[in-house]
Amino acid sequence: MPIDDSPPLRKSVNLGKLKKGAALRLVLLPLCLGLIFFLPAGTFRYWQAWIYMAVLFLPMLGFVTHFLKKDPELLERRLRTKEKEQSQKRIMRLSLPVFAAAYLLPGFDRRLGWSTVPPLLSVIADLIILAGYGLFVLVMRENRYASRVIDIEEGQKVITTGPYAVVRHPMYLSGLIIYSLSPIALGSFWAMLPAALMVIIYVARIRGEEEVLTEKLPGYRDYLKRVKYRLVPGVW
């Protein structure tokens, strides 16, 4: 959700707790993804998974380290996971099996040889995913209120600068780039089937978020008139 380019906020953040939470995620997420990839594959000789994990977690390490020092409040928002809106809770519950299928299938595909994805195509997918992560960082620099959950905070204002001048939800565009190309990066065409369902999940989430923002964020209704496209310029 867009905001104005205001000076850093002075909200109190428990840095010790924040560091522990960030460190825990940086340890557990690679371990969990490793289990999801390598157990179904039945081998560690799965180079697509190793490269994919490096593409995800090396930039993440830099992101977390940077914002722990420069803007811990923003990092604290990104670590929130508890949705307040009931409709969004339902959408997130529905998205779990989609995520699970999209990430589990590539390992089984690797073991059973269902797909033959050219190595160069997997590398290109990794590069585009890295670009998607770059968009994510750009959104973070533009929008200090970019929380993982839908929430409106005191003093939040709508603007139209940076990527928000092009689409209303550049954060979701970043996520869609990353998740939709993950199966190819992991060497599986079959996993594209559940990954394609992420488009439906994102559309539902965006529609629900815009209802909340229109109701609770002053000026958002006018922003909808100025910026036509929600997710993809020229499409929707």
Q: What predicted TM-score, i.e. pTM, was given to this entire model?
A: 0.82
pLDDT(85) > 70: no
Q: What is the pLDDT of residue 33?
A: 92
Mean pLDDT of 149-162: 69
109 and 188 in contact (C-beta within 8 Å)? yes
Q: How far apart (Å, rounded) are the C-alpha atoms in residues 123 and 57? A: 16
Q: How far apart (Å, rounded) are the C-alpha atoms in residues 19 and 141? A: 20
Q: What is the pLDDT of residue 146?
A: 66
Q: Is residue 79 in some structural domain?
A: yes
C-alpha angle 164/65/78, rounded to 5°?
45
Q: Is residue 145 in some structural domain?
A: yes
136 and 65 in contact (C-beta within 8 Å)? no
pLDDT tier at 83 (50, 70, 90 boundaries)? low
The secondary structure of 83-145, three-state, reads CCCHHHHHHHHHHHHHHHHHHHHHHHHHHHCCCCCCHHHHHHHHHHHHHHHHHHHHHHHHCCC
Residue corresponding to tokens 């839908």: 150
Q: Is residue 54 in some structural domain?
A: yes
125 and 191 in contact (C-beta within 8 Å)? no
Range of the domain at 90: 15-226
Q: What is the pLDDT of residue 4?
A: 41
pLDDT(5) > 50: no
Note the pLDDT tens digit of each residue in 9-39.
445 667 777 788 788 888 888 899 999 999 9
148 and 77 in contact (C-beta within 8 Å)? yes
Mean pLDDT of 193-213: 88
pLDDT(3) > 60: no
Q: What is the pLDDT of residue 44?
A: 95
Q: How far apart (Å, rounded) are the C-alpha atoms in residues 71 and 15? A: 11
Q: Is residue 7 in some structural domain?
A: no
Report the 10 Å Cβ neighbour count for 115: 18
Q: What are phi and psi of 197, to 5 degrees?
A: -65, -15
Q: How far apart (Å, rounded) are the C-alpha atoms in residues 154 and 163? A: 23
Q: How many domains does the chain have?
A: 1
Mean pLDDT of 197-209: 87
Q: What is the pLDDT of residue 88?
A: 72
- We report the CATH number of the domain holding residue 218 as 1.20.120.1630
Q: What is the pLDDT of residue 47?
A: 97
pLDDT(6) > 50: no
Please, which residues have CB within 8 angstroms of residue 226's CB and are 6 or more apart in sequence? 160
Q: How far apart (Å, rounded) are the C-alpha atoms in residues 178 and 100? A: 15
pLDDT(124) > 90: yes
